[in-house]
Amino acid sequence: MQDAITKFTQSALADFRRKNFFATAKKGENFELKADLNSEYKEFRKDAVKRVIANMTVGKDVSSLFADVVKNMQTDDIELKKLVYLYLINYAKSQPELVILAVNTFVKDTDDPNPLIRALAIRTMGCLRVEEIINYLCEPLKKCLKDDNPYVRKTAAICVAKLYDLNPQLTVDNGFVSTLQEMISDSNPVVVANVIAALSEINDSSSERNIFTINRNILTKLLAALNESTEWGQICILTTLADYVPVDEKEAENIVERVIPRLQHANASVVLSAVKVFMVYINQKYITSDETIQHIIKKMTPPLVTLVSDHSEIQYVALRNINLILQMRNDILTEEIRVFFCKYNDPPYVKLEKLEVMIQLCNEKNIDQVLSEFKEYCNEVDVDFVRRSVRAIGRCAIKLDVAAERCVNVLLELISTHVNYVLQEAIVVMKDIFRKYPRSYEGVIVELCKNLESLDEPEAKASLIWIIGEYAEKIENANELLEFFMDNFKEESTMVQLQLITATVKLFLKKPSQAQNSVQNILQTATQSCDNPDIRDRAYIYWRLLSTNPQTAKSVVLAEKPPIESRTKIVSDSLLDELIANIGTLASVYYKPASLFGGRTGDIKIFSTPAEDANADIEGVPGTTIGGDENLLDLDFDDTSAPPSATPPVSAAPKSNSGSNDLLDLLNEDIPPMGSMGLSQPVTPSTNVQNDLMSILNSSNSSNNNNNNSNGGGGLMGLMSPSNSGLGNFSGIQLQPQKTVMLPASDGKGMEISAVFLKRQNKFFMDLTFTNKTTQPMSEIAIQFNKNTYGLVPMAPIGINVLPPNTSKDFSLPLGTNGPVQQMNPPTLLQIAVKNNVGVYYFQHVLPTSLFENQVSTPSTMSSFSMMMNNSNNNNNNNNNNSNNGNSNDNGLGGLLI
């Protein structure tokens, strides 16, 4: 019996557990909120609405409770009503049909005896931004514009601007704009300020631009309301006054006198708005009296100084605007330069802006103070700030001729400290000083060259190489100094390589006996071993100049360079006018047109930055794996769902060079020979783009032959002779095709890709240009090829970490032929996928068949030179024997200079 009872109990418990295993007493948070929203107790409903708003704030979806929340609108509790209105504003766009349920409550609330509820109702109706509710908004808005309470009227004025943004025609037809124009005469200054703000907004968005006009009567009311308005209202009125064109100078002076007291306001934005009025009136010549302008400048100085002593964020905004003001009027704050000296606890961004202001303010009277400060800054621990301080010294030297020597002495003291980054920055600065003051301060060169081995930054190396090349005739061991860099020529950056080629050619033209072998080796290395087209083209041009006419080469390479100017201009003059009219806004802080921030602007021209050097050294990565992830883009072109390109772009195959056109043919067929052509004479580019620059080395004109034969010298003139073999024969070289747009920005969500496929030294490359046409940076860029006929695969990841907005970066992608093979139709079709942080994009391209044709191999360097040297000497000997000329031949490069 006992066993039966135990068995029954266990069976019942098991059934109970099975029955409740999937059951739960909890219905979910929204279910509990729904129950509380419909509770009969007011406290429960209010607490439930608060929890709904809290969930909405953190991003949870509570739109399913829309109807339950709306039920709580009809209440006398203002706090609860505000919470419900906040919920409605957030979910009105996702539930437009349910918003109609709240219309009756809104209309009823606009008749409520409490002005706070009336204003709250009309403000919420204006913020809903739903077409379905616009028609219901008109009648309540008319009543609120005529309301007895100024708080309701000023709220309704802003609501008119919001309604105009949704439906301009309806706003005009119902007379709301006319009502606003009448409300400028309102007795309450807060209402006047809101009306001005609403009319300005409407006028800016209107195509007619005549909705808001100011006459003398309106101007008087604006000036009267200025003193009694809130801070926000004062800013609106001051902005309107800055846009106003005074009738005459007397009226402009009257406005200035009424605005001057605003400079004493505690709010920084009000102060900057007042400064904006003064600067616009001075800039637009509304005020021309020197006495009045000096009076305004005197009044502006103390408030600006006060802003620089405020919190660091306000300091930064003030300093950015002061920089603009100083570019327009450099006679402001000249006696207050000590205010801009950096403090030890200033944030880095404030210190850098103070440096810029000090450079603007430095003059003959205060230069010693400024240099002393800059020298102190060079002992700071912030490396970037120290570098900028060293550069600031150089900019002062370029700006003030009388202070240049003092600046150079300070730089020499900094160089003697042997701090690596200070030394390298000082060398860069000295290069600029030499360009500004040529043939001056040459005694510094010795100190610079002593630190040759300490340089490891490309810009510092390039600067010192430029100095050595520019003053090669005064440096006894210039050739040895340049050879120090030539040992690692292939590993150096593009900037250093280009500068080294130029400096070596300068040295050769100045000291041919010392640099004969150096120029030969560096031109040979640059033309044969460098993949960068800029380096090769420069080397070929120099080679051609030296081989054709050394005197012309001298006049080109050693020509006098124009001195550089002081770089105190921050923006262009046209942009400066717009930024002055937007002082105190984001436009004046970022130095960008106001249209980029939703403001108004005209067609503005902006200064370019030196684009970042996007070239990167690439090491081959075997296989098809990119970035360590197999099949990174999950490419499947065989799937029918993949978007095919209707007409894939086809790059034209490069045509072989005819070998009969020289450098002059590339420019103009009718221009005279190089020796008789003036350097300043303009030339018209020819449309014959198929002529490669390197075809100049294959020219067969008679003048060059005659020059080679008559000079009797080997060297470069013999080397470049068309009759010679080896390097002198470039008939197999073809013009590199131009890049084509393979992925338009419209298809790449703002990323545009231009590319061209090339073959260099029997290796395949894809030269790419990535352009970001969005306002957000792009990253995580990767590329992958589908199976193709030739097994082409990328051999390295894309070496671009971040692509900033509105910029372009180049990258040369090495390609291998060891990838998976699949027969394509046509055979040269290549399907490509590119990925970034936004998405994945597909496109295809038909490669030129000439890319896969065998090309003539180039002889080795030494054998080519030997063969050309022998050919040149043999030709010269034959010519000399035939002409019975007794002059002896000079081997090498020495015969270039006479």
How confident is the model at residue 708, as a pLDDT? 41
Question: pLDDT for 503-547, tens place per residue?
Answer: 999 999 988 888 888 888 899 999 988 888 999 999 999 989 888
Look at the pTM and tell me if it is higher than 0.85: no
Q: Are 737 and 533 in contact (CB under 8 A)?
A: no
CA neighbor of 398 nearest in space, from 429, 370, 377: 429
The pLDDT assigned to 680 comes to 30
- CA max distance for the chain: 143
What number of helices (H) and strands (E) belong to the chain? 37, 10
Least confident segment among 283-292, 394-403, 656-665:
656-665
Q: How much of the chain exceeds pLDDT 70, in percent?
A: 77
Report how far residue 681's alpha carbon sits from residue 683's, in angstroms, rounded to the nearest whole number.
7
- Residue that is written with structure tokens 């080469």 in the block: 553
Q: What is the pLDDT of residue 315?
A: 92
User: Tokens 């766009």 appear where?
Assistant: 93
Check residue 105 and give its pLDDT: 82
Query: What pLDDT is recorded for position 849?
Result: 80
Q: What DSSP state is assigned to residue 123? A: H
Query: Please, are residues 282 and 304 in contact by the beta-carbon 8 Å criterion?
Result: no
Say whether pLDDT at 713 is over 50: no
603 and 296 in contact (C-beta within 8 Å)? no
Q: Which residues contact 24 (CB under 8 A, 6 or more apart)?
A: none
Q: What is the reported pLDDT for 736?
A: 57
Ordered alpha helix ranges (H), 400-532:
404-416, 420-436, 444-450, 458-470, 478-486, 494-510, 512-529
pLDDT score at 27:
57
Which candidate, 738, 833, 849, 737, places its Cα nearest to that of 789?
A: 849
Show the 3-state SS of 345-358: CCCHHHHHHHHHHH
Residue 469 to residue 456: CA distance in whole angstroms: 19
CA-only gyration radius of the chain, Å: 38
For residue 855, what pLDDT band results from cuts at 50, 70 and 90? very low
Residue 778 Cα distances to 451, 629, 782, 837, angstroms: 40, 20, 11, 6
Residue 317 pLDDT:
94
Cα–Cα distance for residue pair 84/659, rounded to 1 Å? 82
Distance CA 199, CA 191 (A): 12
Of 4-8, 285-289, 698-702, 860-864, which one has max mean pLDDT?
285-289
583's tokens: 């002082």
Checking if the pLDDT of 616 tops 60, the result is no
- Two tokens at 123? 């403000």
The confidence score (pLDDT) of residue 95 equals 75
204-218, 558-572, 604-618: least confident range: 604-618
pLDDT tens per residue across span 697-708: 333 333 344 444
Pairing of strands 807-816, 763-772: antiparallel
Distance CA 117, CA 73 (A): 12
pLDDT of residue 599: 61
**Least confident range of 131-145, 597-611, 732-746:** 597-611
Average pLDDT in the 224-244 region? Answer: 89
Q: What is the pLDDT at residue 156?
A: 92
Q: Helix axis angle, 533-548 relative to 512-529, nearest 10°?
A: 140
Residue 619 in this model has a pLDDT that exceeds 50: no
Query: Is residue 741 classed as helix, strand or coil in its secondary structure?
Result: strand
Look at residue 806 in the predicted model and tell me its pLDDT: 84
Contact (Cβ atoms closer than 8 angstroms) between residue 653 and residue 848: yes
Q: Is the peptide bond before 643 cis (omega within 30 degrees of 0)?
A: no
Q: What is the pLDDT of residue 350?
A: 93
Pure H helices in 605-749: 663-667, 702-711, 715-719
Q: What six digits make up the tokens of 640?
A: 């029918």
Burial status of residue 671 (CB atoms within 10 A of its CB: 0-12, 13-18, 19 or more): middle
Q: Is the pLDDT of residue 894 over 90?
A: no
| β-sheet bridge partners, residue 846 | 650, 829
pLDDT of 779 over the 80 cut: yes
pLDDT band at 151 (very low <50, low <70, confident <90, very high): very high
Question: At a CB cut-off of 8 Å and minimum separation 6, what does 91 contact?
Answer: 56, 63, 66
Three-state SS across 825-878?
CCCCEEEEEEECCCCEEEEEEECCHHHHCCCCCCCCHHHHHHHHHHHHHHHHHH
Which residues 6+ apart lie within 8 Å of 872 measured at CB? 708, 714, 715, 717, 718, 719, 721, 724
* Residue 225 · residue 194 · CB < 8 Å: no
**Mean pLDDT across the stretch 627-651?**
37
Render 405-417 in DSSP notation, one character per residue: HHHHHHHHHHHHT
- Map tokens 């708005």 to a residue: 273
Residues linked to residue 778 through DSSP beta bridges, in sequence order: 803
For 438, which DSSP code? T
pLDDT tens-digit readout, 199-229: 888 888 877 767 788 888 888 888 888 888 8
Strand partners of residue 591? none
Q: Which amino acid is at 38?
A: N
Which of 171, 154, 153 lies closest to 162 in space, CA to CA?
171
Q: Residue 302: name the closest of 344, 274, 342 by CA.
A: 274
- What's the CA gap between 715 and 296, in Å, rounded? 71
Determine the Cα–Cα distance for residues 765 and 615; give it in Å rounded to an integer.
14
What average pLDDT does the chain have? 76
Residues 6 or more apart from 528 whose CB is under 8 A from it?
727, 858, 861
b/e map 717-729, b = 16+ CB within 10 Å: bbbbbbbbebbbb
C-beta of residue 708 within 8 angstroms of C-beta of residue 875: yes
What number is the average pLDDT over the span 327-341?
87
Q: What is the spatial distance between Cα 794 and Cα 790, in angstroms, rounded to a whole number?
A: 13
Angle at 879 between CA 875 and CA 885, to 5 degrees: 135
User: Which tokens belong to 829?
Assistant: 């079709």
Instruction: Quote the pLDDT of residue 173.
Output: 86
CB atoms within 10 A of CB 740: 14
Angle between helices 115-127 and 150-166 (to 10 degrees): 10
765 forms beta bridges with 758, 814
pLDDT at 472 over 50: yes
What φ, ψ does residue 91 adopt, rounded to 5°?
Answer: -110, 10
Give the closest residue to 470 by CA, choosing from 486, 448, 492: 448
Question: Token digits for 11?
Answer: 């069976």
Handedness of CA 146, 149, 152, 157 (dihedral sign): positive
At residue 388, does pLDDT exceed 80?
yes
Q: Which of 693, 673, 656, 692 is nearest to 543 (CA)?
A: 693
**Pairwise pLDDT comparison (365 vs 609), residue with the higher score:** 365
Q: What angle do CA 458, 404, 496 make, to 5 degrees?
A: 15
For 717, list phi and psi in degrees, rounded to 5: -65, -35
Sign of the CA dihedral running 141, 146, 152, 158: positive
What's the pLDDT tens digit per position in 800-837? 878 888 889 998 999 988 888 888 888 889 999 999 98
Please tell me the distance from the alpha carbon of residue 144 to that of residue 162, in angstroms, as a whole number: 15
**DSSP state, residue 261:** G
pLDDT in tens, 72-130: 878 888 888 888 888 888 888 777 777 777 788 888 888 888 889 889 988 888 888 77
Least confident of 75-79, 169-173, 622-626, 877-881: 622-626
641 pLDDT more than 90: no
Whether residue 417 has pLDDT greater than 80: yes
| Beta bridge partner(s), residue 794 | 815
Q: Where are the alpha helices (DSSP H) in 771-835?
A: none
